[in-house]
Amino acid sequence: MMTINGNLSRRALLKSMATTAAGVGLLGASGYASAADAEIKIASLLDLSGGLDAAGKPMQDAMTLAVEEINAAGGLLGKKIGLVTYDTQTDMRLYPQYAQQAALKDKVAAAFGGITSASREVMRPVFRRLNTLYFYNTQYEGGVCDRNIFCTGITPAQKQSKQVPYAMKKWGKKIYTLAADYNYGQITADWTRKYCVDNGGQIVGQDFFPLDVTNFGSTIQKIQEAKPDFIYTVLVGGAHQSFYRQWAAAGMNTRIPMASTTMSIGGEQMILAPEETNGILLCFNYFEALDTPANKAFLERFHKRFGADYPYVTELAMATYQAVYLWAEGVKRAGTAERMPVIEALESGVSLDGPAGKFSLDPQTHHAVMDINIGQIENRKVKILESYAQQQPSDTSGVCDLKKNPNDNTMYVIKV
């Protein structure tokens, strides 16, 4: 559960009082009708099958837990939250189709979903056009500037700015980057190069792979010839797990160390053999290993709900869990689940204290301010090595100012 920080603005308080006194809600532009509906509906649009299901299933479970906890505590505005679930099946054709269905047929107050940047960018214009609030809860390359969306995932200025120099100090200054061949992989590779060069390093090799590639033999040979100090992987999805297996099978896991932006977001270290992932350096907002009362209590609730043998609660699961509570706080402050009052309430300043520590919304960008932790995999668990408090999404804030330009609707490719 989350503890809420921040003061309710006078405007939001008056709005809430007025709505409560009226006792009814009007039909908003999004189609949400608070007076007529027995529950407040939200939608989950996640890959529960297909190549990204290992990432999508924990996100769905975390969202389910958050909804159940809020409902058990009395719900919102005297109503229960109803969760409408879509399996987008890692199919680009289904994301916009289901987004439209969630907005028009289900009339949800908010939608949560998308894993890849590509999936986000086909759903985002649909939700904006249909006036349905959208939460994107995945680490990504930064740059989304749209008042209708809230991004709760970690961005490069929060992640690579800490992970790359840490790895260089630990292992050396020559890096070989392997990345998925779409915007997240390509732009993340650019950020990796920036932080490498800024810290006196050199990119000695860089390769990109479509999401269905499973054979990395020739790449491993190229890496051996380049002789980097370490590998930096930005690989995505089930097919790319083959790299880690082939890397270990070639005996390279004991010769050249590795850092990754994506390892463990689908619990890959629980699927692969320990020797295939041991020593990989990670950087996230959340690890199960966080030794705090709030995290211990969260894990106890999570395992009680989904089983003691649940493999791993991921970074993306926590980003989703926090997003649901963020939206719920916006509804409470607004006194309605209608889109614009909730946006305005969230922009007034919201901070949560939860399992991953303090989690705040940056009103300028609609991104999150959060703690960042560097960890290393050891026998399928993560040992936390270093932590950084309250890191800002400074990459996106350099191009996005929704206070000055509330009508901005741009996916900026930030020049690195």
What are the sequence ranges of the domains in the chain? Answer: 3-154+291-369+393-405, 160-260
- C-alpha 220/C-alpha 363 separation (Å) is 44
- C-alpha 369/C-alpha 359 separation (Å) is 6
Phi, psi of 272 (to 5 degrees): -75, 160
* Residuewise pLDDT in 10s, the chain (416 residues): 665 554 433 343 333 333 333 332 323 344 554 555 789 999 999 999 998 899 999 999 999 999 999 999 999 999 999 999 999 999 999 999 999 999 999 999 999 999 999 999 999 999 999 999 999 999 999 999 999 999 999 999 999 999 999 999 999 999 999 999 988 899 999 999 999 999 999 999 999 999 899 999 999 999 999 999 999 999 988 889 999 999 999 999 999 999 999 999 888 899 899 999 999 999 999 999 999 999 999 999 999 999 999 999 999 999 999 999 999 999 999 999 999 999 999 999 899 999 999 999 999 999 999 999 999 999 999 999 999 999 999 999 999 999 999 999 999 988 87
Q: Torsion-angle region of residue 273: left (phi > 0), alpha (psi -120 to 50) or beta?
A: beta
**Computed over its alpha carbons, how large is the radius of gyration of the chain?**
21
Number of H helices, E strands in the chain: 14, 17
Max Cα–Cα distance, the chain, nearest Å: 72
Give the pLDDT confidence score for residue 8 in this predicted structure: 38
Give the pLDDT confidence score for residue 415 in this predicted structure: 80
Q: CB burial class (10 A; 0-12, 13-18, 19+) of residue 200?
A: exposed
- C-alpha 176/C-alpha 138 separation (Å) is 24
Handedness of CA 303, 308, 310, 312 (dihedral sign): positive
Q: What is the pTM of this model?
A: 0.89
CATH code 3.90.1150.200 for 3-154+291-369+393-405: no
- C-alpha 324/C-alpha 326 separation (Å) is 5
Give the pLDDT confidence score for residue 182 in this predicted structure: 87
How does DSSP assign 325-348, residue by residue?
HHHHHHHHHHTS--HHHHHHHHHT
Structure tokens at 101: 């269905």
Return the ∠ at Cα 156 (arms to 150 and 160), rounded to 5°: 150
Give the pLDDT confidence score for residue 32 in this predicted structure: 55
| Direct distance between the N- and C-terminal alpha carbons of the chain, in angstroms, rounded to an integer | 38
241 contacts 212 by C-beta, under 8 angstroms: no
Q: Which residues pair with 346 in a beta bridge?
A: none
Structure tokens at 307: 């089983």
288 contacts 356 by C-beta, under 8 angstroms: no
**351-368: burial string, b at 16+ Cβ within 10 Å, e else:** bbbbbbbebbbbbbbbbb
- C-alpha 162/C-alpha 160 separation (Å) is 5
| Whether the domain at 3-154+291-369+393-405 and the domain at 160-260 fall into the same CATH topology | yes
Give the pLDDT confidence score for residue 7 in this predicted structure: 42
Structure tokens at 83: 């969760």
CATH match for 160-260 among 3.90.1150.10, 3.40.50.2300, 3.40.190.10, 3.40.605.10: 3.40.50.2300
Give the pLDDT confidence score for residue 378 in this predicted structure: 95
- C-alpha 281/C-alpha 382 separation (Å) is 9
Give the pLDDT confidence score for residue 36 in this predicted structure: 55
